[in-house]
Structure 1
Amino acid sequence: MRLTDLRPLMARRRDGALGFECFRTDPAAAALGWPDDVLEQFLFDHGDNPAFIDDYNTIDLHTITWQLETIPAAHFTGMPTGVSDEGCIESYAQNPVHWVTVRPPQIALHWEKHGTWLRPPLLIERRLLDPDGGGLQVLEGRTRVGVLRGRLREHLHVAPHHQAWVGRR
């Protein structure tokens, strides 16, 4: 199953006829067996985003297994995102304080107190996109990763490790 195979489901979601609870129990979404947090951030929020379709439609969604992993902060400093959103992580990194303050207050508090994001972003093994690729790529959470990079650069409180959902074959 590819992202474009979910068009009927995404159309119902986009029309407001489908909340997340119904979305996650739809046979197409449920068959993936993904954690709810991944299903919501990737498919429910962005499954019909043209940039996501351009970047990730080649992946057979059934081949991805998601695991919550702990990743060193340093690994995020050069991690790319999809080609269609190239440069956006760095644009968020230029003003990390701004991108945290325009979010709900608990996000800024969590960064100050714990030095990390409140919700784990989604990373994907680059080999899923290119058999010769290596490492991880930011699939969803570009703002969060940008804030992390900016906070590191500005010597603000950053935890040494961060949780992220990682999709692998």
Structure 2
Amino acid sequence: MKLKDLGPLMARRRAGGLSYDYDRFRADPMVATLRWPDDVLEQFLYDFGDNPAFVNDYGSVDLRAIQWRLETVPSADFHEMPTGATDAGCIEEFAEKPVHWVKVRPPEVGRQWEEHGTWLRPPLLIDRCLLDPSSSGLQVVEGRTRVGVLRGRLREGLHVASHHQAWVGRP
């Protein structure tokens, strides 16, 4: 199953507006067969499943081939981690103003960074071999702002934890 296969579901979601809530979405038989964690399902499919740039970057991936697990990832691994080609450079843009991007979020986001040096909600990373069998390493699927804030805080010498939780999709 690929993102394009979810087109009819995404059209129903859009047509239903706010009345087509996340619970209805995740109960759809196509989505339910994936057996993805709710946090991943919401960030990956519900929020971005029909976003043209997202579909361009991840539309060729067999969604059934991805196994998601919450992993602890060292801060250093995020230094050069790319995102999809259509959003190339956006992590660096967020990294330029980490304090700003935290301030425009709810106050608990800033408290989490100050007290724990990390994000509230784990971002989504994918093993790049799922995108191209000859590739290796991880790529940021969702959470570009969070990873940008991390990079910017490191650059500015602000408090950053040595490790961070992230949802990692692997074959």
Normalising by the smaller structure, the TM-score range is: over 0.9
Give me the CA root mean square deviation.
0.6
What corresponds to 1:9 in structure 2?
A: 9
Instruction: Please show how residues 7-86 of structure 1 align to structure 2 within 5 Å.
Output: 7-15=7-15, 16=17, 17-86=19-88
Q: How far did residue 129 of structure 1 move? A: 0.6
Aligned to 1:116: 118
User: What is the CA-CA distance between 1:82 and the residue it aligns to?
Assistant: 0.2
1:112 shift after superposition:
0.5
**Runs of 4+ residues deviating >3 angstroms:** none
The residue identity in structure 1 corresponding to 2:124 is: L
Unpaired runs of 5+ residues, structure 2, are none
TM-score by length of 2: 0.98
Identity of aligned residues (%): 68
Deviation at 1:8, TM superposition (A): 1.0
**Tell me, what secondary structure is at the counterpart of 1:46?**
coil
Tell me the TM-score normalized by structure 1.
Answer: 0.99
Q: Deviations along 1:72-118, whole A, 9 cap, x unmatched? A: 00000100000000000000000000000001111011110100000
Q: CA deviation at 1:11?
A: 1.2
Instruction: Select the residue among 142, 155, 158 that pairs with 1:156.
Output: 158
Distance 2:45 2:91 in 1: 20
Cα distance in structure 2, aligned partners of 1:14 and 1:133: 34
Letter in 2 for 1:112: E
Q: Cα distance, 1:20 vs. partner?
A: 0.3
**Residue 129 of structure 1 aligns with which residue?**
131
CA drift of 1:14 comes to 1.8
Shift of residue 137 of structure 1?
0.1
Deviation at 1:38, TM superposition (A): 0.1
Give the distance between the partners of 1:156 and 1:65, measured in 2 at CA.
34
| Structure 1 unaligned residues grouped into runs of 5+ | none
SS at structure 2 position matched to 1:147 = helix
CA displacement at 1:12 relative to structure 2: 1.7
